[in-house]
Amino acid sequence: MKRLYRQAQIASEDNPKTVVGDVLVEGDRIIGVAAEISGVTDCEVIDCQGRVLLPAMFDLHVHAREPGQEDKENIATCSEAAIQGGVTGFVMMPNTSPAIDSAGIVRTVLESAQRTRIGPSIFTAGAITKGRKGEELAGIAGMKAAGAVLLTDDGFAVDNPQVLRRAMEYARDHDIPLASHCEVKELSGKGCMHEGRVSYALGLPGIPSISEEICISRDIRLAEYTGVHLHIQHVTTAEGMRTIQRAKDRGIHVTCEVSPHHLIFNHTHVGHYDTHFKMNPPLRTAEDNAALLQGLKDGCFDVIATDHAPHTPFEKNQDFASAPFGITGLETALLSLYDRFVSKGILDWGLIVKRYSAEPRRLMKLAPVPIVEGGVAEFIVFHPGGSTTFSRQFIRSKSINTPFLDQTLQGRVERVIYRGQELLA
């Protein structure tokens, strides 16, 4: 049966403004997009007045925790969380137990992904080094052949520049991007939040901005030398962003991502040692927030990515210094971006579609999913006038370590269509 989404505000990466129209879907394809579609019989009509139709989101940076950490999350619950947030494709990080560092483990996690119910599209990264120890290269060729789409030791930087150089050369030769978590561990030490006036006031050891910035500069120089496609993960500082932009201006093949929480929150939100605001890299300053937001507008950031990092309540209920780094993000990203920026006219829907839907897919050599005639039916029905409360009952992730827990944000993801099938309705 056909479905007609009537009089929606259709969003596109090519237009900062939405365009009102009808969208007709049959099977897994969009068979009509027009200001008004009439004369269609045998179809379900869905009134979308006041709703926005968005190409579905794609997240480059997700911790699904499988294998070995299924008490925090597994691929099935991670998929449910993604759908709840309007995300129909994501890339899993390899800092699992054991690490995803061989062709066999790549095949195992992808087979597990295939056993989940329909949608979303799930991909995996492979580790750069065995066990993510930074010492010996993992089997890059084998992992690529088994289906890995990205290389990263996410959570750790590769400290040895010679090891990283060789990894970049292999990645270049096998045409697979290499993603860097940028941190100089000797500078970060035992830090647990941004080093600055708030960390001093709270008596907590800090992580200085230069820990991230120095590593960004080093990895870019290695990328320039080797010719690899380098992707810098979760950039948090204005100076780090400027370093990346200078590299882009010189023609170095470097891309980068920004996370919603590094746009919205800063180190003052740690408040009275609230571990829901503990992540690595840490929340920086309000000045960094403003600079990163401007960088997103200006195009320095290629993609928005959540760094979805679930942890159990037991782990997060420890003291701030002992609790693990990381927050969840799949369910809150789109809504928080709408609530804080789009609804206030600071960002537009075109930018959200470009940076959280189209460009992440392109970076992974996948086709975007624009809402056009003949295109795949993979989109979201979003209600700007609705609201969403992130209660334990609403959250589909196994974990609830989000700063938005029990908060209500403006907007609601009403429907998620994945290849013509409604996964959320």
What angle, 0 to 180 degrees and rounded to 10, lies between the N-to-C axes of helices 286-298 and 238-249?
Answer: 30
Specify the DSSP element, H or E, that contains 234: none
C-alpha to C-alpha distance for 262 and 40, rounded to whole angstroms: 46
Cα distance between residue 50 and residue 211, in whole Å: 46
- Dump strand ranges (E) for 246-378: 254-258, 303-304
What gap in Å lies between CA 246 and CA 97, rounded to an integer? 37
Q: What are phi and psi of 189, to 5 degrees?
A: 55, -130
DSSP conformation letters of 304-337: E---B----HHHHTS-TTTSPS----TTTHHHHH
Residue 193 and residue 199 in contact, taking contact as beta carbons nearer than 8 Å: yes
SS3 content of the chain, % helix, strand, coil (to 5): 35, 25, 40
Q: Which of 59, 307, 339, 348 is catalytic?
A: 307
Whether the CB-CB separation of 249 and 220 falls below 8 Å is answered with no
Rounded to whole angstroms, the Cα distance separating 270 from 265 reads 9
Rounded CA gap, 361 and 370, in Å?
Answer: 11
Tokens of 84: 């709840």
Rg of the chain, C-alpha, whole Å:
21
Nearest one of 258, 357, 241 to 307, comparing CA atoms? 258
The DSSP string of 12-51 is ETTEEEEEEEEEEEETTEEEEEES------SEEEEE-TT-
In degrees, rounded to 5, the angle at the alpha carbon of residue 327 between the alpha carbons of residues 322 and 332 is 160
At residue 395, what are phi and psi to the nearest 5 degrees? Answer: -70, 130
307 assigned to active site:
yes
Partners of 5 in the beta sheet?
23, 46
Asked whether the beta carbons of 9 and 20 are under 8 A apart, the reply is yes
User: Which active-site residues does the annotation give?
Assistant: 307
